[in-house]
A and B are shown apart, each in its own frame.
Chain A
Amino acid sequence: MEKWAAVSVLLLIWAVSASMLAVYYRSELSALNQRLSASAGGEGEYVTVNLGIGVQGGDVTWYNGTRVKKGSTLLDVTAQVADVNYTVYPGMGAFVQSINGVANSDPYYWMWWTWTDWGGWQEGPVAADRYVVADGETLFWYFEDASQSPLPTPP
């Protein structure tokens, strides 16, 4: 009897977990397809993005019209215009440690933002190596005090 109970519980846990994973990966696939569709503009094999890099209360540098291959991630774009160091956490993505020699130092961290028509600057929803850039998109790396809530938006 106890064996059957154990098997039933294991099957139940497996069924619920598998269903949740299916929903998650369906959602991830849908989001990735959306990003790839958005990057379908541009010229030939390339898309153009505007990337800003700035320090809270300090200098801001813009790399407007940066051309990268379609399907490139924000991390690819950043590595193309700046010296970037990062650590990859399996399952979560790349955590940027420093850009152009400016390294994370608690409570200051590199956070990334994307410009939207509907709400101005929005905090990046995923790790930089998981975000496929779209043609004409404006992105920003902001070295800021991450202990503040809500986070300060880029200038």
Chain B
Amino acid sequence: MRVGAPSRRAAVIGLLSALAIATNYAMIGIPNVKLMDSIVFLAGLSLGFADGAAVATLTWIVYGFLNPYGFVPTIWLATTLGEWLFALAGSLSRTLPGERKPPVMAALGYATTLAYDLVTNAAFAVTFGLPIWAALVAGIPFALLHELTNAAAFSLLVPRAEAAVLALLGPGARGGRIRADRL
């Protein structure tokens, strides 16, 4: 289901992409701790999968190409497609009944990040000719940090941010999904 006028949706896609890019650079010194995943999830949740994937792709086009850690095409492709998982999870979460409960958001954040880490660490192993199992095990400390911080970010930020994004999209976006008193 698409929500909001096209111009407003385009504006929100740009806004969320800019927010993801800016926070990525602001937090570049803290490996594996980023707000980008929550923002892409939020985009999928409030706008749908296609728009969420657009936010993910736009963010990775900028952040992937202009990255002080370097650019490797296969890693970039894996992280971009992996980021779509957050848009997909957000989109699928729209069918969840009731309000956004923090525990549910935390579980979604943790599980989706786990899937993302598996995909991207496997892609890293294939790219550099490492055994996949060894790469997955070696990446566990970094993956755990990523998963735990995303679980916290999803539970604390997403419910409030969704209400704000739907308010930006206008009255048509509410559609009974979000109660007016939450806006």
Same complex: yes
Which A residues are within 8 Å of any B CB, using their own CB? 2, 5-6, 8-10, 12-13, 16-17, 20-21, 23-24, 27, 91, 125, 146-147, 149-150
Interface of B, helix, strand, loop or mixed by DSSP = helix
Interface size classification for chain B: 20 to 34
Q: A23-B140, A91-B141 are in contact. Are A13 and B106 (CB under 8 A)?
A: yes
Complex: A5 Cα to B107 Cα, angstroms: 10
B87-120 vs A, CB cutoff 8 Å, 1 = contact: the mask equals 0000000000000011110110010001000000
Most chain A beta carbons < 10 A, residue from B103, B128, B138, B143: B103
B115-150 vs A, CB cutoff 8 Å, 1 = contact: the mask equals 000000000000010000010011011011001100
Instruction: Evaluate contact between B137 and A23: CB separation under 8 angstroms.
Output: yes
Contact residue among A6, A13, A16 (Cβ-Cβ distance under 8 Å from B102): A6
Contacts of B148 in A (CB 8 A): 13, 17
Instruction: Evaluate contact between A12 and B107: CB separation under 8 angstroms.
Output: yes
CB-nearest residue of chain B relative to A22? B140
| B96, chain A: closest CB distance, angstroms | 13
Q: What are the 6 tightest A-B residue pairs by CB atom distance, in nearest-first order?
A: A24-B140, A9-B103, A6-B103, A5-B103, A27-B137, A9-B107
Q: A13-B106, A13-B107, A149-B72 are in contact. Are A20 and B140 (CB under 8 A)?
A: yes
Q: Is B70 an interface residue (CB 8 A)?
A: yes
Instruction: Evaluate contact between A20 and B143: CB separation under 8 angstroms.
Output: yes
Would you mind naming 9 contact pairs between A and B with Cβ atoms under 8 Å apart?
Answer: A2-B103, A9-B107, A10-B106, A12-B107, A20-B140, A27-B134, A125-B138, A149-B70, A150-B128
Q: Is B85 an interface residue (CB 8 A)?
A: no
Most chain A beta carbons < 10 A, residue from B110, B137, B143: B137
Contacts of A20 in B (CB 8 A): 140, 143-144
- Known contacts A91-B141, A146-B70, A147-B70; 6 additional CB pairs below 8 A are A5-B101, A5-B104, A9-B104, A10-B106, A17-B147, A149-B72
